[in-house]
Amino acid sequence: MNPVLSVRNVSKSFGGLRAVDDVSFDVHQAEILGLIGPNGSGKSTLFNCVLGQLPASAGTVLVDGKDVAGKRPCDLNKLGVGRTFQMLQVFPEMTVLDNIILAGQEHKGTMLSRLFGKPDAGLTEEALRMIDFFRLGHQTHEKAGSLSYGQQKLLDAAMAFMAGPKLVMLDEPAGGVNLTMLADLKERLRAFNQERGATFVVIEHNMEFVMSLCTRIIVLANGRIIAEGDPETVRNDPTVIEAYLGG
């Protein structure tokens, strides 16, 4: 079976700066791959190259074995690939339900129905199921801005999952989330992975979170992969410890 995602020799330069430098890795169905590394090591840039937000300077990205060069983020959404950003993307003045429906419409390329009519019943049902799955059901009709920050991060992830569940790329899902909500978030991500076979790539600074959630971890420093392996191996790798202390 093809890997869900195959990143081959991808580089990205900004002027003289090589933000991502010859990075290659595969992600297989139902893996949860953690992508860690000091600030500025190229994690978000790599996400942007994979998701079509930025053209790579070199290399190939394959989704299900198909080259996605030149594909836009919305094309990737239609292939079942979703993402979150470091910054929340929820619309605070819209209800939880409307945020999820809008995300579904964007991913499925039916913005016109948003502008000119009601969402189809199937999409509303799917949105309600997603809200239930993330245990936001009691807040379905509340404005997203009235939710706690942790709940908004859950909502933000749920919106990305409306594109999936083939591959979901999460940029710092645990950032700024308090301890109680952190356990909830991890438990729901794991359930989504196990029950729906979704594949994740997760950028995360919270080591406890990433080590306990991910099945495999890749460490970037200065745009290059410096270590890769299961959480325990990576945690004890002196090169990794040095990269963090030096970075």
- Which residues sit at the interface with Mg ion, rule CB under 5 A? 43-44
If you search the block for the tokens 């729901």, which residue do you land on? 188
Closer of 3 and 40 to ligand ADP (Cβ): 40
Helix 149-161 vs helix 121-133: crossing angle, to nearest 10: 130
Sites for ligand ADP among residues 40-99 (CB under 6 A): 40-45
What is the token pair recorded at 11?
Answer: 């580089």
> Distance between CA atoms of 77 and 2, rounded to whole angstroms?
19
Least distance CB 246 / ligand ADP (angstroms)? 15
What is the token pair recorded at 18?
Answer: 């090589």
Closer of 12 and 43 to Mg ion (Cβ): 43
Among residues 2, 9, 14, 191, the one that binds ligand ADP under rule CB under 6 A: 14
- Binding of residue 39 to ligand ADP (CB under 6 A): yes
* Strands (E) located in 53-172: 58-63, 66-67, 81-83, 167-171
Taking 3-state DSSP, the helix, strand and coil percentages for the chain, each rounded to the nearest 5, stand at 45, 25, 35
Closer of 44 and 139 to Mg ion (Cβ): 44
Closer of 14 and 149 to ligand ADP (Cβ): 14
Q: How many CB atoms lie under 10 A from the CB of residue 231?
A: 17
Binding at 244: pick from Mg ion, ligand ADP, none (beta carbon under 5-8 Å per type): none
Least distance CB 150 / ligand ADP (angstroms)? 22
Binding at 152: pick from ligand ADP, Mg ion, none (beta carbon under 5-8 Å per type): none
The stretch near ligand ADP (CB under 6 A) out of 33-41, 61-69, 96-104, 118-126 is 33-41
Length of the chain, please? 247
The CA-atom distances, in angstroms, between 101 and each of 4, 7, 83, 119, 129 are: 26, 31, 16, 7, 11
Sign of CA dihedral 229, 201, 126, 63: negative
Binding at 41: pick from ligand ADP, Mg ion, none (beta carbon under 5-8 Å per type): ligand ADP
Least distance CB 46 / ligand ADP (angstroms)? 7
What does the binding site for ligand ADP look like in residue numbers (CB under 6 A)? 14, 17, 19, 37, 39-45
